[in-house]
């Protein structure tokens, strides 16, 4: 029977327990590079007892694809040293580092440059009016993801996560709302998954058979977009393409409860795949999580806001004080840049 606090592996990465600090972007970066306060926060997280830390979303492209100024980047050798430093620090504390790779697509508030997306569909959140990517530009973006993964590997990071959720470019390709293409990147779910699966295949070919490639995908959407069938099929396609694990997320509209709100969908995906599946969103209670890990095929859990509210949550749980996380999923941390009223 699986347990939360036992070592577990994803490809070449062995974690001391099954808990990830889910990706948490904090918009402090300076020209894509980590700010000193980010390092301090990663140190706090590495000390917290998590098995692995997924970085905040890091852009794989420089101008003209770059996004907001405070966003992390990983697109050339100038990033190697800081990722090396970060990975070394995290390893010394017996945790692991996964770098989350993203291209923002039309999910951006940046102005003064061309915004690219699968199709020229106005983004209902940001209002951005993107230009449809040519197949050549799609190829350049694919290369940028592979280059970023190789930089992360070279720096000694334990793996990468492709951000295929939350309305960013790879998710926009998956979504029939944003993707109106009539070529091999649009139409059925196989075509809409093509860019993600090509990126997986190419990273796998350029690295090792067991280099951890995680992918975060939505199981549902805020706008009429991917269906549950699309979600399950994307998981199957990604497994065939060489993904090492899938983290399940979804629309922020599902985010009302402080129980695991994607549990049913995550469970179903875990039953459909042979690779590990990660439950994220609303995980707040250790006994409940232990039951999920013991009784289902779900192999790992991710938590984001609980660690903003209480960075030493795992220490408390491991000491036998099992009270729930205080985080109420209120999203104040999103709107006020990590300042939580419960802190
Ligand atoms: C402040 C903040 C920043 C986030 N940044 C990212 C990010 O960079 N990448 C990502 O995939 N998800 C990001 N998320 C979403 C979380 O990784 C997670 O999917 C979501 O918060 C649900 O988990 P939770 O209920 O444990 O918070 C962020 C969430 C918050 C609150």
Q: Domain extents for the chain?
A: 24-335
Is the predicted pLDDT of residue 328 greater than 90, yes or no?
A: no
- The number of helix segments (H) and strand segments (E) in the chain equals 12, 14
User: 277: part of which helix (H) or strand (E)?
Assistant: strand 277-280
Is 100 a pocket residue for ligand 1 (Cβ < 6 Å)?
Answer: yes
Whose C-alpha lies nearest to ligand 1, atom 23? Answer: 281
Among 116, 98, 118, 109, which Cα is nearest to 71's? 109
What is the rounded average pLDDT for all residues in the chain? 93
Q: Is the full-model pTM beyond 0.95?
A: yes
Cross-strand partners of 72? 58
256-267: per-residue pLDDT in tens? 778 999 999 999
| CATH fold group of domain 24-335 | TIM Barrel (3.20.20)
* Residue 333 · residue 339 · CB < 8 Å: yes
Calpha distance 196→327 (Å, rounded)? 32
Residue 342 predicted with pLDDT over 80: no
21-61: pLDDT as tens digits = 999 987 788 889 999 888 899 999 999 999 999 999 999 99
Distance in angstroms between the alpha carbons of the first and the last residue of the chain: 35
Ligand 1 touching residue 72 (CB < 6 A): no
User: How far is the centre of ligand 1, averaged over its atoms, from the C-alpha of 240 (Å)?
Assistant: 27
Name the residue of 21, 24, 215, 309 to mutate for ligand 1: max ligand atoms within 8 A of Cβ. 24
Where residue 66 falls among pLDDT bands split at 50, 70, 90?
Answer: low
Beta-strand pair 19-21/52-54: parallel
pLDDT of res. 336: 62
Which residues touch 111 (CB under 8 Å, ≥6 apart)? none
Residue 341 has pLDDT above 70, yes or no: no
Spatial separation of the C-alpha atoms in residues 284 and 303, rounded to whole Å: 8
Token pair 């009016």 in the structure block, residue: 129
Strand runs labelled E in the chain = 8-10, 13-15, 19-21, 52-54, 58-59, 72-73, 97-102, 116-117, 131-132, 159-164, 213-218, 245-249, 277-280, 300-303
């Amino acid at each position: 029977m699986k347990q939360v606090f036992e070592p577990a592996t994803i490809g070449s990465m062995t974690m001391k327990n099954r808990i990830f600090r889910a990706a948490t972007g904090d918009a402090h970066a300076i020209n894509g590079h980590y700010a000193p306060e980010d390092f301090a926060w990663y140190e706090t997280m590495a000390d917290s007892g998590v098995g692995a830390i997924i970085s905040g979303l890091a852009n794989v492209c420089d101008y003209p694809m770059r996004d907001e100024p405070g966003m992390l980047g990983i697109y050339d050798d100038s990033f190697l040293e800081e990722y090396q430093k970060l990975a070394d620090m995290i390893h010394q504390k017996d945790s692991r580092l996964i770098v989350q790779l993203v291209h923002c697509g039309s999910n951006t508030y940046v102005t003064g440059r061309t915004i690219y997306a699968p199709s020229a569909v106005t983004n209902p959140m940001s209002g951005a009016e993107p230009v449809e990517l040519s197949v050549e530009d799609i190829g350049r973006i694919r290369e940028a993801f592979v280059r970023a993964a190789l930089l992360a590997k070279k720096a000694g990071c334990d793996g990468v996560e492709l951000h295929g959720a939350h309305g960013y470019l790879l998710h926009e390709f998956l979504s029939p709302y944003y993707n109106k293409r009539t070529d091999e990147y649009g139409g059925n779910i196989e075509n809409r998954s093509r860019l993600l699966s090509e990126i997986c295949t190419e990273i796998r070919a350029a690295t090792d058979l067991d280099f951890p490639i995680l992918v975060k995908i939505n199981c549902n959407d805020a706008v009429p977009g991917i269906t549950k069938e699309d979600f399950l099929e994307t998981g199957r396609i990604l497994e065939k393409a060489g993904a090492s694990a899938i983290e399940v997320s979804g629309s922020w509209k599902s985010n009302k409860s402080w129980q695991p709100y994607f549990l049913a969908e995550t469970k179903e995906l875990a039953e459909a795949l042979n690779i590990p599946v990660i439950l994220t969103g609303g995980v707040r209670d250790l006994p409940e999580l232990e039951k999920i890990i013991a009784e289902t095929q779900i192999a790992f859990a991710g938590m984001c806001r609980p660690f903003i509210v209480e960075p030493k949550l795992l220490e408390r749980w491991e000491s036998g004080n099992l009270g729930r996380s205080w985080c109420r999923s209120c999203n104040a941390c999103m709107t006020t840049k990590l300042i939580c009223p419960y802190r």
